[in-house]
Structure 1
Amino acid sequence: MSFFTDGPRSRPLFPVPEQELFGYNGRPWVETPHEYIVPAILPWSMPLGRAERTIVALRGIEVWPESVSFQLSVYSRDLLLDEPGEGLIDHRRVPDYNALLVGVLFPDGRRASSETISVPSATKPDQPVLRAQGLGGSAFHVDHEIFLWPLPPDGPLEFIVQWLDRDIEESRTSLDGTAIRDAAKEAGEIWPGLPARKSHGLPVRRVGAQAMITPAWPRESQAPPPLPQPSSPPPASDQPRGAPLPTRLPRRAR
């Protein structure tokens, strides 16, 4: 007897249109390629900043072919957030200087931090990119993902944490940048040889998280239908002679 006893279910009356995963767009500075790559895992766990009632800790690192994501957790003995899903760090808003701040310093002097809003760029940036977002948790424990591009060069990578409201002064932790670069070689591709998205010669316009194809109307036969014109009053010759035009609407009877 089969372990799963339920048989096949019939399709819904109005099935959802099929969707297909296309090839990677090749912009590793925007986000981690979760749908295309299985990352290498570095099980590094250590405190990054600590006060009497609060701990900021690293729980592990996911290493991608061209980027890194740090799994960061905050633990507290008192209330952190009413809504843990919002997170304590978010690259989409400018943080309070006294709030939780994170940053990295490369061995060659390049740096990136959560001090400013980070907006995805269509072109390759000339400086490191750091983005932070909350992953949920509870009122006393909140998880975050800290995205960093590119991979650090060989040498010590400093991870900096500061949270003045929680009595955590600037704290620096040295991580092995060479080990991170070596781990990137172990990241595995899930779907080799995926086809690229075809636009059929039409420009692709991104709206939010979806892509829309905007027609270019190259020929008259493909042009959109003309807009309806506003109706005009009949010519004066068609109006009955001697009939005065109303100057005001009649008052509604009570």
Structure 2
Amino acid sequence: MTGRLLLPLLRLLFFFGRGHGRGIPRRAGMKRGAVRGTLPGMGFFDRVPPPPAPEPPEPPRPRWERPEAQLGAMVTAGLTLGRSGQAAVGVGGVTAYRNGFEFSLLAVMREQDRRDRIFRAQHRHSVAEPLEPEFLRIGVRFADGRVATNLAEDQRFPGPDDDFDGPLLRQGGGSGDGRRYETSYWVWPLPPPGPLTLVCEWPAFGIGESRAELDGRAVRDAAEHAFDLF
């Protein structure tokens, strides 16, 4: 009885002995217990790939863009640009920077329009189509006669080697509801001394061509007080 049980036990020991010792091959030169994929003398975290190459430097900002890290100086707190019995357009404030100035603009209706036409005040679908009366026209005139408007065909963004000297009128972001709309405009470059004229027209709401005048010298003087945060 003991011999009959001993023989299968010896066979099992022989089988597992082959699998553990000679049945599983090892790579040449690899010590027993070494982790595969690791060279001798190399730490585990030495396998982490090196950091990527640094990003190339950002190209310089176009000379006509508003500075990102500059605090401008206030020129005026606000003024009325145009008004009718149905609506009004006002400039909330003018801020001067070293290369231009920015003004906020508020268009408000006396009563909410059920057709929500105010939402078409700043959005023109195509330059090939006639201007809609709901589109709020905005323009600026320098003392030397140069003019810029928010009409799409007037927009031009000069390149770094372009000798274009402006002016350029660029609209910023906006928000509003069924009665009012707020936005901002960036004007490049700084105006020359003399009259600086802002112009608006809003035919759908009875506002004909209306003007408000600022002092170009005051804008330039305020720009000297703008400063960079870093």
Matches within 5 A, 1:41-52: 41-52=74-85
Give how far 1:24 is off: 8.2
In structure 2, the partner of 1:106 is 142
AA of the residue aligned to 1:25: P
Query: Who is 1:129 aligned against?
Result: 168
Distance 1:161 1:54 in 2: 12
Q: How far apart, in 2, do the equivalents of 1:72 and 1:80 lie?
A: 22
Q: Could you tell me which residue of structure 2 aligns to residue 55 of structure 1?
A: 88
Would the aligned equivalents of 2:80 and 2:91 in 1 still touch at CA under 8 Å? yes
Give 1:165-244 correspondences, 5 Å limit: 165-191=204-230
Aligned partner of residue 182 in structure 1, secondary structure:
helix
More displaced stretch, 117-126 vs 98-107: 117-126
Which is bigger in relative contact order (C-alpha 8 A, separation at least 6)? 2
Once superposed, which parts of structure 1, at least 4 consecutive aligned residues long, lie more than 6 Å away?
A: none
Whether contact under 8 Å (1:43, 1:60) holds in the other structure is yes
Matched, 1:78 2:112: yes
Post-superposition offset of 1:62 = 1.6
Q: Which structure 1 segments of 5+ residues have no match?
A: 1-18, 192-254
* 1:187-239, Cα deviation, whole Å (9 max, x unpaired): 11111xxxxxxxxxxxxxxxxxxxxxxxxxxxxxxxxxxxxxxxxxxxxxxxx
Answering whether residue 125 of structure 2 is matched by residue 89 of structure 1, we say no
After superposing the two structures, state which structure 1 stretch, 86-95 or 129-138, moved more: 86-95
Relative to the length of structure 2, the TM-score reads 0.64
Relative to 1, partners in 2 of residues 1:87 and 1:38: Cα closer, same or farther, differing over 3 Å?
farther
What SS class does the counterpart of residue 180 from structure 1 fall into?
helix
Say if 2:86 and 2:206, in contact at 8 Å, map to a contact too: no
Which letter does structure 2 place at the counterpart of 1:165? A
Q: Deviations along 1:109-148, whole A, 9 cap, x unmatched?
A: 1111112342533234233111124421222111111111
For the Cα contact (< 8 Å) 2:165–2:189, is it kept in 1? no
The one-letter amino acid of 1:182's match is D
Q: Please give the secondary structure, in 2, of the residue aligned with 1:183.
A: helix
The one-character-per-residue Cα deviations of 1:40-79 (angstroms, maximum 9, x if unpaired) are 1223311100011201000001211011111000111223
Would you say the 8 A contact 1:87–1:134 is kept in 2?
no
* SS of residue paired to 1:174: strand
Secondary structure of residue in 2 paired with 1:74: strand
Q: Secondary structure at the match of 1:122?
A: coil
Name the counterpart of 1:143: 182
Letter of the 1:128 counterpart = P
- AA matched with 1:122: G
Q: 2:151 aligns with which of 112, 115, 126?
A: 115
5+ long unaligned stretches in structure 2: 1-53
- Aligned-pair identity in percent equals 31
Pairs aligned (count): 170
CA pair 91-78 structure 1, distance change in 2 beyond 3 A: closer
Question: 2 CA distance for matches of 1:91 and 1:146?
Answer: 16
User: CA separation in 1, counterparts of 2:61 and 2:196?
Assistant: 25
Aligned to 1:66: 99
Q: 1:184 to 1:24 in 2, by over 3 A?
A: farther
More helix by share: 2
